[in-house]
Amino acid sequence: MKGQSEKVVREILGKITDAERTNYDRINLELSKKRLGWYDKNRDYAESLEGTDVRKAYTLLMTYLGINPEQAPVVYEDERKIVWRSYNWCPVLEACKHGGFDTRTVCRKGWEQSVQALIEKINPKLRFSRNYEKLRPYAEYCEEFIELIE
């Protein structure tokens, strides 16, 4: 880790450490506010996306996170569900490794609600989650998905 990425990992590690002592509300609130603010500034882009709602939500999330689709290839897709495997560099993963925290707990408690808030802008019936049996560092990728719930 060098420079900016090291700084980001240190900041996230501090937030996780604080959240483990109290709760993850502050992280969820901060990330949701940031993601929804980004959406408001990029509403025209979001509304121009094509495809199913699950495809639009995936594309919106990848754009927001700055992840190249080759780093998070889709492994399953139909009209109601999209599943991808994330191989990209992840500051939360790095912070968890440095601090000895379990990504299965940290990602669920601190990094799902804000993704959920963002994709609900596409359709409030969309749900984001992860396969917690396939999550780094316990697997070679993080398997994540968005599905349409009726």
What is the DSSP code (8-state) at residue 124? T
Residue ranges of the chain whose pLDDT lies below 50: 1
Residue 74 belongs to what domain range? 3-148
pLDDT of residue 117: 98
Q: What CATH number does the domain containing 110 carry?
A: 3.30.1380
């897709």: which residue's tokens?
Answer: 77
pLDDT tens, position by position, 18-39: 999 999 999 999 999 999 999 9
Q: Which two tokens stand for residue 150?
A: 């009726």
Which residue in 116, 22, 119, 8 sits closest to 63, CA to CA? 119
Q: Quick one: pLDDT at residue 4? A: 78
Peptide bond into 73 cis (omega under 30): no
CA distance 118 to 34: 10
pLDDT number for residue 31: 97
pLDDT of residue 2: 60
Q: Based on the structure, what is the number of domains in the chain? A: 1
**pLDDT for res 150:** 86
Give the pLDDT of residue 51: 97
